[in-house]
Chain A
Amino acid sequence: MPTTLSESGAFRGTRPYRGTQVRRQRVRAAWTFLAPMLIVLALVAGWPLLRTFYFSLTDSTLSTLGTASFIGLENYLVYDNGQWYGLLTDPLWWQSVWNTLFFASVSVSLELVFGVIVALVLDAEFKGRILVRAAVLIPWAIPTIVSAKMWTWMLNDQFGIINELLMTLSIIDSPIPWTASATFSMWAVIMVDVWKTIPFVALLALAALQMLPKDCYEAAEVDGIHPVKVFFRVTLPLITPALMVAVIFRLLDALRVFDVIYVLTSNASNTMTMSIYARQQLVEFQDVGYGSAASTLLFLIIALATIAYLYVGRNQLQLGGDT
């Protein structure tokens, strides 16, 4: 419930200023204060997005941005000389869509499970809890590029500590080329992403856990119900709304993933995501029209996912605006 002046108790009864000069002045001031922010957002987000949509309908290249000609939907799909061409017929694009969906669903699921486990541990009372919580936060603070480089080194096929460790423990008998192999590179990328983002999920889950009422736990303890059952029947349903928020934040991040993959495996097709594909077309191949078409489709996929989520979870995500 927002505390706005027009509803405050002090003014009820006489309501001296509803619709008065003070109120008008406040509304005018509000728009004046919002204007700079809205202008900046229009300049860096709104206008560029519209231009990207437009470029996707042209044959622009990086050097002919202004003078390109309109070619309709040809970047997406075109029938020419008995053959279909365009983004939607490119198997590499479809692979990048599949890779992105696979990466996002697997890594977010793993983060959710491990994040909740870490949160449950941090929710318990023990000595040194604050230190452990600080330590858990460290992976989150490390720049993505740095964590990707650190893991690339640890996953190095000849000199990496992971292969060394696995071979010492006789889990594998020959080194695994983690970032180069078709089978393992996606899992390597997921592993690094999960390592980096568990803290975020854990902190949100922990915040939710600490807001739970203590009395239902006492009741369950008195009744002698097994803690695992209590977790699934009481705790989990109560923290689900907070977890859903963490999941949507993480999913949106994972669907646009770029930097961790760019550093770990560069443009390899086994781990190519939609962002990597679009940027490769845009910058490396300088094909702005085609690359913009790929960006536009990524935008549409994320927008659809967001709208679907807002529609399904509209009761949980309150905008807190005009309530």
Chain B
Amino acid sequence: MNSRQVNALLKRTGFWLLITVILIYALFPFYYAVITSLKPSSELFRVDFWLTSLDFSNYAQILTERSFVRAIANSILVSVSVVFIALLLGITASYALGRVRFRGRSTVLLVILGVSMFPQVAVLSGLFEVIRALNLYNNPAGLILSYTIFTLPFTVWVLTTFMRQLPMELEEAAIMDGATPWVTITRVFLPLMWPAMATTGLLAFIAAWNEFLFALTFTLSDSQRTVPVAIALISGGSQHELPWGPIMAASVTVTVPLVVLVMIFQKRIVSGLTAGAVKG
């Protein structure tokens, strides 16, 4: 082997080493959560790098706990409703912003961008008052309403960039046929927008599923909580005796669906994130 070949070999080895490091870094914490969740509580405090037992008692414990199952149901209800509302309001708004030229359009776009940059805590006291006035405190409906503050601007923004890319001939044909804007949206654009709507819907779902501050502040009783709050508030006898087995089991349970979704829709998510940011 001459020095050139050695050099190339070193480069290849280094490259694969780098990939291995990246993979371990990205995957190890979740892997460790999975193996911890499969340990019986007696073995919990022995550090193991490999799966040493297959004990599902932690999962049995959390899945028979009524408040946790209720939290999963609440999270599904809240996230699905948030996605539905964001898409419904987002598709009509993005038609207006993406296809029609009118005075004040850039102002509206700036307002949307501005709202998406709000720190959530800045609206906390005002929103608390609104939610209490609407009698939605400690109610998933209050969370659904409050989550539109971060899902709606994002959805409108991304759908508008997608809406702009559609060819204009379609719309011209519809107008020549005398279609109203509403008919144009539902009959012409909606069928073409499904991929974009799937992407933004998925991102809105993940954001709503993961939200913590509002859920922590606007709910009070165990039966109204969402999953992140339920997990954060799992506690044992004292601060130093947290039941790590059940906590890890709960964490894995609520994360696996997301990881599966992300794996399946990897391409869409990437295009949604970049459309929201790069083109924004």
Contact = CB atoms under 8 A, between A and B. Distances in A.
Where chain A touches its partner, the secondary structure class is helix
Interface string B130-165: 101000000000000110110011001000010010
B118 interface: yes
Contact of A121 (B19, B89, B258, B274): B19
Contacts of B259: 138, 141-142
A3 to B, nearest CB: 5
Contact of A278 (B18, B124, B152): B124
Contacts of B270: 137, 203, 207
B269 A26 contact: no
Given A41-B111, A138-B26, A138-B262, A204 B273 contact: yes
Nearest to A62: B128
Contacts of B25: 195
Interface string A8-45: 10110000000000100111011101101110110111
B118 A299 contact: yes
Interface stretch (A69-77, A215-223, A254-262): A254-262
B266 interface: yes
Nearest to B95: A33
Nearest to B251: A146
Interface residues of B, number: 106
A322 B277 contact: no
Contact of B93 (A2, A33, A292): A33
A106 interface: no
Interface string A146-172: 110111011010111100100000000
A235 interface: no
Where chain B touches its partner, the secondary structure class is helix
B121 A145 contact: no
Interface stretch (B1-9, B61-69, B192-200, B210-218): B210-218
Given A22-B175, A33-B181, A48-B129, A320 B279 contact: yes
B231 A256 contact: no
A52 B122 contact: yes
Given A153-B36, A302-B119, A5 B172 contact: yes
Given A55-B126, A203-B273, A258-B121, A29 B182 contact: yes
Interface string B97-111: 111111001101111
Contacts of A33: 92-93, 95-96, 181, 185
A176 interface: no
B124 to A, nearest CB: 6
Nearest to A249: B277
Contacts of B111: 38, 41
Contact of B100 (A30, A134, A295): A30
A87 interface: no
Q: Please name the 9 residue pairs, one residue from A and one from B, whose CB atoms are nearest each other, closest first.
A: A48-B126, A51-B126, A321-B106, A256-B119, A29-B181, A30-B96, A33-B92, A299-B122, A48-B123
21 contacts: A4-B100, A36-B89, A48-B123, A48-B125, A55-B126, A136-B26, A138-B262, A139-B26, A140-B262, A143-B209, A145-B229, A159-B44, A161-B32, A203-B270, A207-B278, A256-B121, A262-B212, A295-B119, A295-B125, A320-B161, A321-B105
